[in-house]
Amino acid sequence: MRVAFKGVEMNIVLLDGYTLNPGDLSWEGLRKLGPCTIHDRTSPEEIYDRAREAEILLTNKTPLDGAILGRLDRLRYIGVLATGYNIVDVTAAAARGIIVTNVPTYGTMSVAQVVFAHMFNLTHRMAHHTDAVRIGRWSEAKDFTFQDFPLLEVSGMTLGIVGPGRIGSAVAHAALAFGMRVIAAGRTPGWAPPPGVRPVSIDELFRESDIVSLHCPLTDSTKGMVNRERLASMKKTAFLINTSRGGLIDEEALAAALNSGIIAGAGLDVLSVEPPPKEHPLLRAKNCYITPHFAWASTAARARLLEEVTENLRAFLSGTPRNVIKG
């Protein structure tokens, strides 16, 4: 049964559905809410033509800036198929009375899992040693084992979490179970650290941590926060992990820090431009391991995301919107 907004069915257009559902999930729940057009991908040149008849737009990474929003006279609602919503000009949307929602909780454990995948790769150089076995070095070894780098235990290390929200807190909980010391820096006034976590200033966190993990949103105040000066303040043995937003890091500065040994390594699931150009400085930086922005994308997490996107839209159509982003 379809849900009509004030008795009128609304046109739903999903601009870029492929990354959420490449074919292993069902759109049926969404289609039940109204006439629904689903595009796998939408280029910037295609946005207006595809969106102009829509009252409801759903987007993951297709940008909706103030200029395009100003041309979409019928638009009433934007559903972001993600937690981060920097691809939508929420101020322009609010000025036009357009509701914007996101999905804050779907990928918490999936992202936390990838944080530890990067952490364990950096401390045991899993990718390097697996590749070494594949090319025959273990078969040719004189001993039953070999290692090219010191193998590091995370127990006893200090993990610094920048942005101890849902995902940061989940990472902290797991880190404590591994015997790590956990410190955190939060930007929200009056924030309380999770149990067992010591609050510190952001600069103290970068100085003290053996591993820094980024979990804050990309805003004007956080853009480029990991800059040359902060990298220089870190221990030479420290690692940096980013599963949040690529723009948090000055990527030229990080590449220089890795290549010159200012820090020991980095594990990144996000970059400032995605996909990155082939000449991106971090693609060939020393001890830099990059995964293709897939921390959010486990099958279970995508299923939860699709369910929450559908429930957000259902709530809006029923007149009680949820997970609304304030412009």
Taking alpha carbons only, the member of 209, 197, 206, 214 closest to residue 267 is 214
Distance (Å, whole) CA 133 – CA 320: 57
More confident residue, 192 or 153: 153
Task: Decide yes or no: CATH 1.10.287.70 for domain 12-106+299-317.
Answer: no
Q: Percent of the chain, pLDDT > 90?
A: 89
Q: Where residue 195 falls among pLDDT bands split at 50, 70, 90?
A: confident
Residues 272-280, mean pLDDT to the nearest whole number: 96
pLDDT digits (tens, 9 = 90+) for 54-79: 999 999 999 999 999 999 999 999 99
In 3D space, the residue among 46, 60, 51, 48 whose CA is nearest the CA of residue 12 turns out to be: 51
- Pair 236, 263: CB distance under 8 Å: yes
Q: Is the pLDDT of residue 226 over 50?
A: yes
Count of CB atoms situated within 10 Å of the CB of 195: 9
Tokens representing 128 are 């390097």
Q: Taking the model in full, what pTM does it have? A: 0.90
Average pLDDT over residues 272-292: 97
Out of 74, 274, 284, 322, the active site residue is 274
- Nearest in space to 267 (alpha carbons), one of 296, 297, 235, 292: 292
Give me the pLDDT at residue 4, please.
53
**CB neighbourhood size of 252 (10 A):** 12
DSSP labels, 17-37:
-TTT-SSSS--HHHHTTS-EE
Q: For residue range 246-273, list pLDDT tens digits in order.
A: 999 999 999 999 999 999 999 999 999 9
pLDDT value, residue 276 = 97
Percentage of the chain beyond pLDDT 70 is 96
Q: For domain 108-290, give its CATH number from 2.60.40.10, 3.30.565.10, 3.40.50.720, 3.50.50.60.
A: 3.40.50.720
Say what the pLDDT of residue 292 is. Answer: 98
Judged by average pLDDT, the poorest of 2-6, 14-18, 139-143, 204-208 is 2-6
Rounded Cα distance between 239 and 234, Å, is: 9
H-run or E-run covering 168 = helix 166-177
Q: Is 56 exposed, middle or buried (0-12, 13-18, 19+ CB in 10 A)?
A: buried
How high is the pLDDT of residue 218? 86
pLDDT of residue 171: 97
Average pLDDT for 281-285: 97
Report the pLDDT value the prediction gives residue 1, as an integer from 0 to 100.
44
Among candidate residues 66, 11, 24, 21, the one with its CA nearest the CA of residue 41: 21
* pLDDT interval class at 192 (50, 70, 90): confident
Q: Is the pLDDT of residue 148 over 70?
A: yes
Average pLDDT value over all residues in the chain:
94
274 catalytic residue (yes or no): yes
What's the CA gap between 93 and 326, in Å, rounded?
10
* 84 vs 119 pLDDT, higher one: 119
What pLDDT shows up at residue 188?
67
Catalytic, out of 245, 251, 302, 304: 245
Question: Which pLDDT score, from 0 to 100, does residue 3 have?
Answer: 52
Q: Which pLDDT score, from 0 to 100, does residue 5 have?
A: 53
Instruction: Tell me what pLDDT residue 164 has.
Output: 86
Over the stretch 170-191, which tens digit does the pLDDT of each residue have? Answer: 999 999 999 999 999 987 666 7
Q: Which of 215, 293, 302, 304 is catalytic?
A: 293
In the predicted model, what is the mean pLDDT of residues 289-315? 97
Angstrom distance (rounded) from CA 4 to CA 55:
12
Clarify whether 279 is annotated catalytic: no
Predicted local distance difference test score (pLDDT) of residue 86: 87
Catalytic-residue membership of 245: yes
Every domain range in the chain assigned CATH 3.40.50.720: 12-106+299-317, 108-290
| Burial track 92-130 (b if 16+ CB lie within 10 A, e otherwise) | bbeeeebbbbbbbebbbbbbbbbbbbbbebbbbbeeebe
For residue 158, the cross-strand partners are: 181
